[in-house]
Amino acid sequence: MFDYTEIIKKAEILIEALPYIQALAGKTVVIKYGGNAMISEELKNSVMEDITLLKYIGLNPVVVHGGGPDISRALKSFGVESEFVNGLRKTDSSTMEVAQMVLVGKTNKEIVSLINQKGGKAIGLCGIDGMLLECEKHMEIVDGKPVDLGFVGRITKINTRALELLTHSEYIPVVAPIGTDKNGQSYNINADTVAAELAAALKAEKLILLTDVEGVKSAEDKVIHVITSDEVHRMIEEKAIVGGMIPKVLGCIRALEGGVGRAHIIDGRIPHCILLEIFTNKGIGTMITRQLIPYYEKEKL
């Protein structure tokens, strides 16, 4: 007799996903795509498959991408060394030209092409299109003093109409983090920030940040799978959350305060990490939420 054990296990996985599919049908999910998931060919393909599948089962994914390594390589080829302040790239006029060329002309179109190859219908945008991301110069505070980073932007307004038209039809928008001011000057904007603010503006149900870490960890070095925004603030005060994780969790909290339902920090180095986080009860990363409100009666939070 044929052994149906493995097939039954696959069916059980699909059944576990069912209540999440029902809860998220028609909802917007903003995904920040970056880190090693943009470098490894295997991971690139698994992320694009995940995003395409989300669209086919009734969710509305919006992709925001970084591209720092590509920009650094391009600048190096022109003999320009990159300088960073608190993780933000100093951007003079020449660097801005290269960043825009790489993010909009190369990285964005590669992602669009990959999604289209998987059967999705992606459309590439940047914040200049339709004045999607209006911004002004960002001044970084270092040791209590403002530092001019050049053409690094701070978002002042988001015009979501174009994204709403695309997401509520058959298309998957892919957004490069370049914005513009009212005079038409382009600015480079941190991709995590763009994703968080877009998620809030779109009233997305989920914000998902793909990173190169497993998630927020406890003092015992174990991944915390669910945490409230109040608990995040407490962990920052107690210095249990430090370094580069701080801006990520604070971006998630800003998105939650703007109306996003749940925010997720997940390990983009794991194949199909998006599906594993969204459609399984335990997930693989850290989910941050304002209140522990389950999607369905038996969801364990």
Would you say 120 is a known binding-site residue?
A: no
And the tokens for 112?
């669009």
Do 192 and 169 meet the contact criterion of CB atoms below 8 Å apart? no
Question: DSSP of 28-67, one letter per residue?
Answer: EEEEEE-GGGGT-HHHHHHHHHHHHHHHHTT-EEEEEE--
Comparing CA positions, the residue from 83, 193, 172 lying closest to residue 119 is 172
CB 169 within 8 A of CB 101: no
Block residue for tokens 């941050």: 288
Residue 22 burial (CB count, 10 A): 11
Does the annotation place 268 within a ligand binding site?
A: no
d(CA 99, CA 75): 9
- The span from the CA of 28 to the CA of 199, in Å, is 8
Q: Is residue 86 marked as binding?
A: no
Residue 68 assigned to a binding site = yes
Q: Token pair for residue 199?
A: 């998620």
Distance CA(110)–CA(289), nearest Å, equals 33
Separation CA 63–CA 52 (nearest Å): 11
Q: How far is CA 252 from the centre of its chain?
A: 10
| CA atoms 139, 71, 206, 227: torsion sign | negative
What is the rounded end-to-end Cα distance, in angstroms, of the chain? Answer: 40
Q: Is 258 in contact with 199 (CB distance < 8 Å)?
A: yes
| Residues flagged as binding site for substrate | 67-68, 89, 188
| Residues flagged as binding site | 67-68, 89, 188
